[in-house]
Each structure stands twice: as structure tokens, then as C-alpha cells.
Structure 1
Amino acid sequence: MTVSRLDERELLACLGELADLLADTVAGGASVGFVPPFGRAEAEAWWRGRAAEVAAGRCAVWVARQDGAGPVLGTVSLAFPDKPNSRHRAELVKLMVHRGARGRGLGRGLLTAAETAAATAGITLLHLDTETGSPAERLYDTAGWTRVGAIPDYAATPAGELRPTTIYYKRLP
């Protein structure tokens, strides 16, 4: 697996692959902010918006591919706050791995790449939220993230059920 950070041009070049990954993630039932019906056009529009965020320096996006070639199998992003008192932190967002590529360490590899890049950039605190009871919790628990607690009825699943979210943070060296 090869993980690489995308600039705006590269993100737009793989827009279709990223849209397919997002649509697959939603279709698989992951609570990543979208509910059905959710198609490729909506996914492309969302990613197009991320390209503008990357260009403005408010977001960083990484993708995972098998040996640097082939389709995008996973992605993760960091969202950077725009307020002066929060430049030391970032939010880990949209860690997604295609359903057909799970179980190969892609999620952990993407997480490690984002954490390493954040630390190199001087970020000392990361935070995230994930659906309570989801498989992602095991990843964050075993990767040294600290569970803060859960917020009930935080977001709707793709099926429309309100579910809690668990908040995590990680201090970086």
C-alpha cells in the first residue's frame, strides 16, 4: 500500500475514484455525514468542495492505493481550524476504506500517515468523532487515541436511525 497526500490538482484528477469510495462507504452503512439516496453526483460535488479547501490550506487529503497504482482504496483528511487560538490542533475526518479492501491495514496506514504529517506540521493535538459501536472505535482504541465520551443522537445513519458518536483525541509529540 502507498499513501500519498493530494494537492488540489491531484484531488480533482481522481475525483471519480474518491466519489466512488465515498458512495461505497455510505452504501456500506458507515455514518460519514450522508444518507441515502446518495449518488455519485453528490459525492463528486462534495469532493469538489474539498479541493477548494485543500487549495486554501484548510484541509489536507491522503489516499491509499495498492503499491501506488490502481484505484483509490482509502482516504483520510485533516481539517485545520481557522481561528488563531486553535492553530495547534486539527480534526481527523473522513477516514474511509473501500469495503472490498478492508482488513489489509489500510485504515491504520492512513491514520499513521495523517498523524505523522500533523506532527511534522507542528500540530500537537488531534481530535475526531466516530459512530459509537462502529468498527472504527477499535482502530482508534488500539492506535493510542483517548476516548472522551459519547454524545447521544448525534447523527443519522444512512438508514436514518439517530446514533451516538464517540469523541476521541490524541496528543502528538
Structure 2
Amino acid sequence: MLKTLSTRVSAVAIAATTALISTASVIAQPMNPSVDGRYEDLVQTIYCPQAEPEYGSFNEYGYWEGGEYICNDQYAEAGYWVYDSPNWYIWNYDNYLDDAAFDDATTAYGSYSDLAQVLTCYEDVDAYGDYYDYGYWQGGSWCGEYGSEGYWVYVYPDWYIWNYEN
């Protein structure tokens, strides 16, 4: 009887361990590079395992204008960059930016139009509060990303950058 009980406990332990391992591998899977359809129209894939120490195993970098890229000395296309180790995926469209259903605050209550970029920057809440209409800025490095030229509106946690003042 002791041998039978030991065999049953071992079988249960093996089944539980197998379930845990298979669940852990699913949980550890990174997001897909299109971020569940947020990005569309793949323009380029760049194999670059050496980017992982800087960007982690998954990173939605945002828009980059393209140019020479140090990874494998490749020319990189302009687009929305997503790193899913070991590859960079460069997409033509960000459906989040193309969505016309924006809160009135994001346009500074109708002051701006033609969205150019959304840049997430949680830490700017300390300087700008939950809402701030910064106005025009020529663009540049901001919050670890490249921010487009345009009219900037902060609605926590995102900067909405617009092409035109109405």
C-alpha cells in the first residue's frame, strides 16, 4: 500500500510540474511584434540580438525616421519600431495614432489637428500635471524617444503631437 501511495504522489507531482512548466513558458512569451494588431504593414525586419541589453526582450520604441543603423550595418526604414528579441520590426502604420476618437483634451479642445505622434512619458506628470498645452516645439529627443515637430499637448501619461494649429 505504501508503494501504491508513493507512486500516486509521484504521478501527481510529475503532472503538476509539467503543468507549471508549460504554463510558465506561455507566460514568458513576449507580446507579438504587431502588439495585437496595433501596428500594421511590416516594412522591414532587422536581426539584432545585440539590442536586447539596451531595449530588453520586448520594447515598443515608437517612430524613428530611419537611416544607417549600427546593427549589422543595415539601412533602416522609417516607421514604428518594435523590438521582439532578437529582431526589430519596423511598421508603416500605428493604428493607435490613426484612431480619430480622441478625447477633446488631447487636441487642446479643438486647437490642433492632424495627429503626428503619441509619445508616452509617465514622468512628465511631475512637471506638467495631468493636462498641459505646451504649444509649438521643433521636436527632438524627449523621454527616451524622438518627438516630432508640432504642437504638443500632455494628457497624462501621453504627449499628443499635432501637425496643425486650427
Same fold (TM over 0.5): no
Max radius of gyration: which structure? 2
Does 1 or 2 have the higher relative contact order (CA < 8 Å, sep 6+)?
1
Bigger proportion of residues as strand: 2
TM-score of the superposition, structure 1-length normalised? Answer: 0.27
